[in-house]
Amino acid sequence: MAGLERILAPTVEPLSLAEARLHLRLDDTAEDGLVAALIVAARQLAERHLGRALITQGFRLWLDAWPAGRRALDLPRPPLAAVEAVTTYDEDGLATVLEPGRYLADLVATPGRLVLRAGSAPPVGSRAANAIAVDYTAGYGPAGTDVPEPVRRGMALLLGHLFESREAGAGGGARPLPLGVEALWSPYRVVRL
């Protein structure tokens, strides 16, 4: 595998500013800028830890070549919502989009998969690097409330930890992550065998 590129960022966060302020017990808006930044940081930490996309996002998986002997390709950052395009590139960078009838998107597997239909040959690009691009959408949905509640509650706990520990570098060191975060998130973590 060559690399994964985010081509469309989420447009909302799993926790709204109002939810975060309520969790943090903030009555005024003086620290809304900080809280908003910490919400983004908490989502990014959650996505990295879980190996998932929480809110609908667009990705491009670059491959040097299709994996030898395989009819299916795992697509990182589940849950998979759709495969938009599979494109091959020749040495001159000329793109050829595969017909969607040659493959199907397995939205049930975790991670989701791009599966070649029976009788379809694997896509082949002639470029030495990044010869195949798979564009797809992943995430639980376009709204924060589409994200499973245990993941959102873990984010709220992490947000509280980040908010309270923002000055940790100035003295006693950072506190460990809240114990409940791992317990809430563990059923959603993508583990590669």
Question: What does the pLDDT look like over 34-81, one tens digit per residue?
Answer: 999 999 999 999 999 999 999 999 999 999 999 999 999 999 999 999
Which residue, of 138, 153, 176, is where some domain finishes?
A: 138
Which residue, of 138, 162, 177, is where some domain finishes?
A: 138
What would the mean pLDDT of 1-26 be, rounded to a whole number? Answer: 93
Q: How many domains does the chain have?
A: 2
**Structural domain includes residue 113:** yes
In the structure, what pLDDT confidence band is assigned to residue 191 with cuts at 50, 70 and 90?
A: confident
Tokens 């990014």 sit on residue: 44
Q: Among 71-80, 109-118, 148-157, 168-177, which is the least confidently predicted range?
A: 168-177
Q: Quick one: 147 and 124 in the same domain? A: no
Give the span between the Cα atoms of 137 and 59, in whole angstroms. 6
Domain with 95 in it: 57-138
pLDDT tens-digit series, residues 87-136 = 999 999 999 999 999 999 999 999 999 999 999 999 988 898 999 999 99
**Structural domain includes residue 2:** no
**Strand order, beta sheet including 132-138:** 3-8, 57-63, 132-138, 80-89, 95-97
Q: Quick one: 43 and 73 in the same domain? A: no
**Structural domain includes residue 165:** yes
Quick one: which H or E segment has residue 183? helix 179-185
